[in-house]
A and B are shown apart, each in its own frame.
Chain A
Amino acid sequence: MNLRLAGAKALPEDGLGMRVAVAAAVEIGLLAVMVQDVLSDRTAFLALVLAPIGYVVSYRRRRSNNVAIKVALACGLFIATARFLGQIGYVTSPDAARAPLAALFLWVQVLHAFDVPRRRDLAFSMVSSTTMIAVGGALALSTSYLWWLLAWAVASGAWLWMSSRPLAGDVTAASIARTRTRPVRAATSRSVVAITVAALVVAIAVFSMLPRVPVTMVRSLPFRMAPGAQPAPTDRVQNPALPQATTDGQVVDFSSDGYPGFSDVMDLRARGQLSNDIVFRVRAPFAQLWRAEVFDTYDGSLWTESRTHTAPLVSNDSGGYDVPGSQSFNGPTKPLVQTFFIQQSQPNVLFGAAQPQTVYFPSGALQANADLSIRAPIFLDQGLVYSVESAVPAMSGGDLARLPPMPVVPTHGPDARYLQLPAELPQRDRDLAAQITAGTRNEYGAVMAVQSWLQTETRYDLTVPREPPGVDAVDHFLFDTRRGFCEHIASAMAVLLRAEGIPTRIVTGYGPGERNPFTGYYDVRYSDAHAWVEVLYPHIGWIPYDPTFEVPPVPGGWGSPMGAGLVSWLTGQIGAAVPVGVRTSVGAAAHRFTAAVAAGRAATPVAIAVVSMALVGAVLRRRRRRAKPPPARDAFDLAYAQLLAGLSGAGHPAEPSCTPDEVLASVRADPRFDDEFTAHAANVVTSVRRARFARPEDRPSDADGVRAVTSAARVRELARHV
């Protein structure tokens, strides 16, 4: 809306190109918000159509007072606000208010488009388009939003460019005459490219250096139901991607989109390959393991839960659900707010960082067991959004190392189940545990010793064959294969620590995933399904350990710069985009080349040297061929070059060895050149001589340079008629 003070007359903006750039930026902003599905189709369509119409009307009536339009716009604004207030009364959470809020903003933008007569009004439009593109960015989950951003950046750059010109009232009207004496190929496009590249390079550098501060202050956490959510049993975890577990000992293998660890059992005999599809995206200030299920009982092949009792989560005043027993950790913690955006259907178990405190979920009847595994009454379907507040254990290794030796855990107490081991566990496993932990002074030392041993003595291998029937999976892993994947490595750690009297439990969930440097979300894939260990420290609580990949550290301070993961992310994206065959071929060729060099064949260095020299020679030859006369250093150089070009054009080429005075003498001696021609040539030569050889105080001024260029231009003109 344009509010003009009485008497404050400003010139309207006549630049059509600038208006087109602004309208384009606004339309892109509108579209960027619309594709995030927060607006109704009708609102989106009307806004898309009306905004450009508004800009056209505004342009055509830019010199009018537009009183009627202003009144109509005020009415429109009133209606939009009333509509917003009407809708906002029915929302159930702050997150749900974003749709009416976005609609209100869109209508304000559309109404504003009808009255933008001046450059300043167009600047307001650009501010609002920036806001819209930011709103779209805050809602966007994928990297494809980059295209919207780039399109908007092009339109905004065009606006910045055009609006950097002075206003018509700020400069004097002038008649401009242009004379081009020395055309340079593609000079304009090269300059535009150079400026664009400069801006992008700076933007990338700035982006890479921005700190990703590991905090969040959002208190109205989003949650919303997926369309067509399916009810799920609340007494057990059910994984819809897998066949129902059987009781006859049949192994349920991995499917590409179903990890068997998200069910009532975790079977160490299961094998398979998970796909790389994204399961969910997590908005969180730092990475953690997203835990889902907890198992405490091991029978040699299966991990199960000994206590299936669950308790309901109690709703609190903030619209969330408090997790019972979540305050049991007695060490330092760091708050972590996570929001999960489900992309692929998942079982009815909630994922979240360790020590969940409060859950914001679109459905009630959440249940949690004693190990803080939370079950939902619905399956986590695509489109579901929920948030979790956790208090992640942040106790340092140094603090844990200073703890006194742990007391013996009573074998009949509440924590005894975390020490359970199968009766058939071979003695050699217990002996190995004692051997590994020998010399450690406390629980932390034993944990570190076992983890370190596993990391150095075993190998991660997804292709390890299934264990023979009747064999303890952990014993087979530790003494026969020493190859396995996260389930085997975590189980081995849990068993070895239990053998030393340290309470442990197995946790399944997802690894942190890969942070997309642009969206800021952690993209978690099926293949990130993971198993790790939690260790109970008496009087403190449970602390996670991942002997396979390490638990992501809890960051402090300003966090890491944005660019830290940018290169690896880009490399991964490029690698994923290259076909497997090409990757394999390139890898094989590189391998062969490396092997040949390593073998020290005499021919290889010679061949490399010959090829290199040939390449260098070709490059130099090409550069020499493309070499051009050195660029003019100043106006006098330019003028002299033009003089020589003019003489050459007139059939009077000057020898390269001639001095300017010799050139002038030859011009004077040529009867074809009239007095005017000679006078202009003399002016150029005299100026060049003075510029190069006169004392500093006698050197010609810039104005003389202009005159010399003008004379040279005249020489070229006259030369055409000689």
Chain B
Amino acid sequence: MRLRRRAVGLALGAVILFVIGTNAQAGWLFVLAALLLGALVAGIIVPLVAVRGLAVELVAPVETRQGADTPVHVTVVNPGRAVRWGIVARDEHIGGASTYVGTIRPGERVEARTERGAPRRGAAHTSWVELRSAAPFGVAERRRRLPADATTLVLPRVVPLGPLPFVDLATSREAATDSDARRGQGPEYLGVREFRPGDPIRQIHWRLTARHGELVVRDLEEHRVARLAIWIDTHADGEALDDACSAAASIVSSASTNGVGVRLAAATPDGPALVSRASALVLHRWLARLGPAEISTQTAIGWLAGDPVRGVGTLVAISRAESWDPDARASLDALARVVPRVVLVTTGGEPRADVAGGFEVAPWLGEDGFGSSFAATAARVGAPV
């Protein structure tokens, strides 16, 4: 039960009227004071029962993407015999919302659908919906939390990037580190289709051809191999890490669209983590769950030496501009000696000039992606754009 300012106003008004009424012996002022106090007391008592006996349900999608409009349904049922007035339902699921449900009559089921922007990446879990009411007089507010479970995995925001300027295809499959989106190894079977002129003979599916009486070929995945690894600096707070994951997810999506396999690496509280040979969606889910770690940027880069960058053609390091210091630069410089191409993507602006090293730098502009800056940078270093 929370009293509102109006309660103070009514009580103060009643006291003032009582004092004036006593001094002036004006009886109607006592009646008026009593009316104010009556509204005050009734306004405190009625909300006590206003949110009792209601049932709620919270329904949200299993997955959504950061920034995307996500429908969330809050349902309130009044199984009792009394009208419930002025009900407001609040929950904190994926950004949270307060919804004015209003009056719920006996036996009524009210479903409120809200669109939420899912402001934060990660696994969102809510276990309650709070119902509150200040009816009838707005004097006091009664709040009650009812259990209601909902879990949604908010994937990182993806910015369309188009072809990536810094990805070099591997010269051979053996030289590649990872394949792109499909599970398994090597060329994968996608399905069958009718034969088109130019299709290799060895792709003809003879058994189906015999059954259908016309040429049917296996439709195989186009297998392009690449040497792209993305490292995310987890020594960051929530929003900065969201930005880094958004940059990583955007690169992953772009790479996947272009058939480029990606390897992801990051420092976690349990040590270095590495994921590879997975579809873009799996990588996005991995990024959604990636949490901050109290491990310095320099140490985390140090963990990349060895397996994580073995055979990699391009290493994209995503870090916060503020935390990029000479020590981190020295570590990345060391990696740049073993990886053909190193790109530092900074979130939150450009790094200081004195920490630039033997690698390219591209500031991440959030929803604008790399903007034009990377194109200029990429052009300067002679990379294909």
Where the two chains meet, the residues of A that have a C-beta atom closer than 8 Å to any C-beta of B are 127, 130, 133-134, 136-138, 140, 145-146, 149, 153, 156-157, 160-161, 163-166, 170-184, 187-188, 190-191, 195, 198-204, 206-207, 210, 212-213, 215-218, 283-285, 516-521, 562, 631-635, 637-638, 701-703, 705-707, 709-710, 713
Given contacts A202-B41, A706-B75, contact A184 B32 (CB under 8 A): no
B31 within 8 A of A: yes
Given contacts A171-B97, A172-B116, A191-B82, 13 further A-B contacts (CB under 8 A): A130-B32, A137-B28, A149-B31, A157-B39, A164-B137, A166-B98, A184-B106, A191-B83, A203-B37, A217-B23, A285-B25, A516-B27, A703-B58
Inter-chain contacts of B46 with A (CB < 8 A): 195, 198
Contact status A188-B24, CB under 8 Å: no
Contact status B107-A210, CB under 8 Å: no
Residue from the list B18, B29, B109 in contact with A137, Cβ < 8 A: B29
Contact status B113-A174, CB under 8 Å: yes
Contact status A206-B34, CB under 8 Å: yes
Kindly supply a per-residue 1/0 record for chain B positions 101-114, scoring 1 wherever the CB is within 8 Å of any chain A CB and 0 otherwise.
11101111111111
Contact status B24-A180, CB under 8 Å: no
Expressed in whole angstroms, the Cα–Cα distance for A195 and B37 within the complex equals 14
Given contacts A164-B136, A703-B58, contact A174 B99 (CB under 8 A): yes
Given contacts A632-B79, A634-B53, A706-B57, contact A178 B31 (CB under 8 A): no
Kindly supply a per-residue 1/0 record for chain B positions 74-107, scoring 1 wherever the CB is within 8 Å of any chain A CB and 0 otherwise.
0101011111011010000000011111110111
Contact status B32-A149, CB under 8 Å: yes
The smallest beta-carbon distance between A341 and chain B, in angstroms, is 12
Contact status B109-A181, CB under 8 Å: yes
Contact status A188-B105, CB under 8 Å: yes
Given contacts A160-B136, A161-B135, A199-B38, contact A709 B28 (CB under 8 A): no
Given contacts A184-B81, A637-B79, contact A713 B109 (CB under 8 A): yes
Inter-chain contacts of A517 with B (CB < 8 A): 27
Contact status B32-A137, CB under 8 Å: yes
Inter-chain contacts of B6 with A (CB < 8 A): 160
Expressed in whole angstroms, the Cα–Cα distance for A216 and B24 within the complex equals 6
Contact status B25-A701, CB under 8 Å: no
Query: Which chain B residues (1-58) contact chain A, with CB distance < 8 Å?
Result: 6, 9, 13, 17-18, 20-35, 37-39, 41-43, 45-46, 53, 55-58
Contact status B136-A170, CB under 8 Å: no
Expressed in whole angstroms, the Cα–Cα distance for A702 and B144 within the complex equals 13
The smallest beta-carbon distance between B56 and chain A, in angstroms, is 6
Interface size on B, residues (CB 8 A): 72
The smallest beta-carbon distance between B113 and chain A, in angstroms, is 5
Nearest residue, chain B, Cβ from A180: B108
B384 within 8 A of A: no
B149 within 8 A of A: yes
Contact status A703-B30, CB under 8 Å: no
Which 6 residue pairs across A and B have the least CB separation, nearest first?
Answer: A520-B27, A203-B38, A182-B107, A137-B28, A164-B138, A207-B34
Nearest residue, chain B, Cβ from A710: B109
The smallest beta-carbon distance between B313 and chain A, in angstroms, is 47
Contact status B107-A181, CB under 8 Å: yes
B148 within 8 A of A: yes
Q: Is the interface of B mostly helix, strand, loop or mixed?
A: mixed
Inter-chain contacts of B138 with A (CB < 8 A): 160, 163-164
Inter-chain contacts of A634 with B (CB < 8 A): 53, 55, 79
Contact status A177-B27, CB under 8 Å: no
Given contacts A149-B28, A703-B149, contact A631 B80 (CB under 8 A): yes
State the total of A-B contacts with C-beta under 8 angstroms. Answer: 242
Expressed in whole angstroms, the Cα–Cα distance for A531 and B287 within the complex equals 100
B146 within 8 A of A: yes
Contact status B26-A137, CB under 8 Å: yes
Contact status B43-A160, CB under 8 Å: yes
Inter-chain contacts of A160 with B (CB < 8 A): 6, 39, 43, 136-139
Expressed in whole angstroms, the Cα–Cα distance for A520 and B125 within the complex equals 62
Residue from the list A171, A195, A199, A703 in contact with B100, Cβ < 8 A: A171
Contact status B42-A165, CB under 8 Å: no
Residue from the list B27, B41, B105 in contact with A206, Cβ < 8 A: B41
B176 within 8 A of A: no
Residue from the list B25, B77, B106, B136 in contact with A284, Cβ < 8 A: B25
Nearest residue, chain B, Cβ from A148: B28
Inter-chain contacts of B106 with A (CB < 8 A): 182-184, 187
Contact status A171-B98, CB under 8 Å: yes
B271 within 8 A of A: no
Contact status A707-B57, CB under 8 Å: yes
Residue from the list A157, A187, A201 in contact with B105, Cβ < 8 A: A187
Given contacts A176-B111, A521-B27, A635-B79, contact A165 B100 (CB under 8 A): yes
Residue from the list B26, B101, B114 in contact with A173, Cβ < 8 A: B114
Given contacts A172-B97, A518-B28, contact A195 B79 (CB under 8 A): no
B147 within 8 A of A: yes
Expressed in whole angstroms, the Cα–Cα distance for A138 and B18 within the complex equals 12
Inter-chain contacts of A136 with B (CB < 8 A): 28
The smallest beta-carbon distance between A190 and chain B, in angstroms, is 8
The smallest beta-carbon distance between A300 and chain B, in angstroms, is 43
Contact status A174-B97, CB under 8 Å: yes
Inter-chain contacts of B148 with A (CB < 8 A): 701-703
Contact status B30-A702, CB under 8 Å: no
Pairs across A and B, CB under 8 Å, 6 listed: A157-B39, A160-B43, A176-B113, A632-B81, A702-B55, A702-B57
Contact status B42-A198, CB under 8 Å: yes
Inter-chain contacts of A198 with B (CB < 8 A): 42, 45-46
Expressed in whole angstroms, the Cα–Cα distance for A429 and B102 within the complex equals 83
Expressed in whole angstroms, the Cα–Cα distance for A520 and B30 within the complex equals 9
Contact status B107-A183, CB under 8 Å: yes
B278 within 8 A of A: no
Inter-chain contacts of B136 with A (CB < 8 A): 157, 160-161, 164, 195
Contact status B110-A165, CB under 8 Å: no
Expressed in whole angstroms, the Cα–Cα distance for A462 and B99 within the complex equals 73
Inter-chain contacts of A518 with B (CB < 8 A): 27-28, 31
B153 within 8 A of A: no
B226 within 8 A of A: no
Name the residue among A160, A181, A218 with the largest chain B CB count within 10 angstroms. Answer: A160
Nearest residue, chain A, Cβ from B54: A702
Contact status B39-A199, CB under 8 Å: yes
Expressed in whole angstroms, the Cα–Cα distance for A455 and B160 within the complex equals 106
Expressed in whole angstroms, the Cα–Cα distance for A179 and B30 within the complex equals 46
Name the residue among A127, A140, A702 with the largest chain B CB count within 10 angstroms. Answer: A702
Residue from the list A133, A134, A157, A631 in contact with B81, Cβ < 8 A: A631
